[in-house]
Structure 1
């Protein structure tokens, strides 16, 4: 790293805010975008802080210590990705904004070159162009990877919540719970139900579980097997299973598959089953 590289680094550091100012000057009115000129003072302060970190990170690429650039790049990617996910900003908007920063950044390199014209060679310009453009390319990649990782984690957490909500074990007294299943049940959902329900029953102290199928229209072969296996798991855990609301077509599917539900009490409706349950409790 030569003296002229150090001088360029110092020049860019001294003009971090000026680079941001020019970038902000390019904003236009874009409805719903955080980059809109009317996005508000709070968002402008956030963007200004993040843009300063962008400019600082790229400047670090001129240093011999590449570790500083890597650390700054990782920090920048996480901060910006988390912020853009929180504001629901799509990747293409972020990359578009970053491209504008690149153009402005290079214009400041040219300004430095015009000031130190006699000391800057063509080799210097070529080297700086390669270093700086590569730094921006790495920011693109690092941001995209971080955005994907964080968004995937967020979606995974949402799917887990959906799985939990689609298998609601409702406790109606100290020992009894109801599992109302509604809508189509595909193989994935049936598998998740079989995984979630036994653990949930144990956690909340369920001794008898009523599985209500009155809201289920169709059950295919794999789903029927999954539900049957779940009743066996519950039985091994000492939890009595009772099924309500079985439709004729579902009963036919179970018979055709040779699934033996003879050891499980079945009822035509949840109302009938709970009526019997309350009578038992009252007699006790």
Structure 2
């Protein structure tokens, strides 16, 4: 089981750019939202960096790393978004979008290795 977990870890990290880009491409034009599709390239890059940091931290839990630093980072991001006036609704909406993209990658991994792992694993 440990070997497959490490393979999943590596697989997800290999696809981190792809997942971030898919998430960014899924944006729509939204009034008064940092997530808007017509955001500046600087804002888009800021979102990409945040998304990849978050994804990397989540994936590293598979190999035993702690989520402690993620909590501090999430608090900082939430404070910045609140100061900008970004709604909690937009943040949750876009988190849910990314969660589906992330799970789709896990499913892809499963299909690639279906002969060596069970669905339960």
Alignment TM-score, normalising by the size of structure 1? 0.41
Contact 1:53 1:76 in 2 (8 A): no
More strand by share: 1
> Aligned residue pairs: how many?
121
For 2:79 and 2:45, the matched residues in 1 are separated by: 16
2:106 alignment counterpart? 109
2:85 alignment counterpart? 88
2:7 alignment counterpart? 7
Q: Which moved more, 1:33-42 or 1:78-87?
A: 78-87
> Against the structure 1 CA distance between its residues 53 and 79, is the aligned structure 2 distance closer, same or farther, given a 3 Å change threshold?
farther
1:71 Cα shift?
2.5
More helix by share: 2
- The structure number with the bigger radius of gyration is 1
| Large movers: runs of 4+ above 3 Å | none
1:13 Cα shift?
1.0
Structure 1 unmatched ranges of 5 or more? 125-284
2:16 alignment counterpart? 16
For 1:44 and 1:31, the matched residues in 2 are separated by: 15
RMSD: 1.5
For 1:18 and 1:75, the matched residues in 2 are separated by: 26
Structure 2 unmatched ranges of 5 or more? none
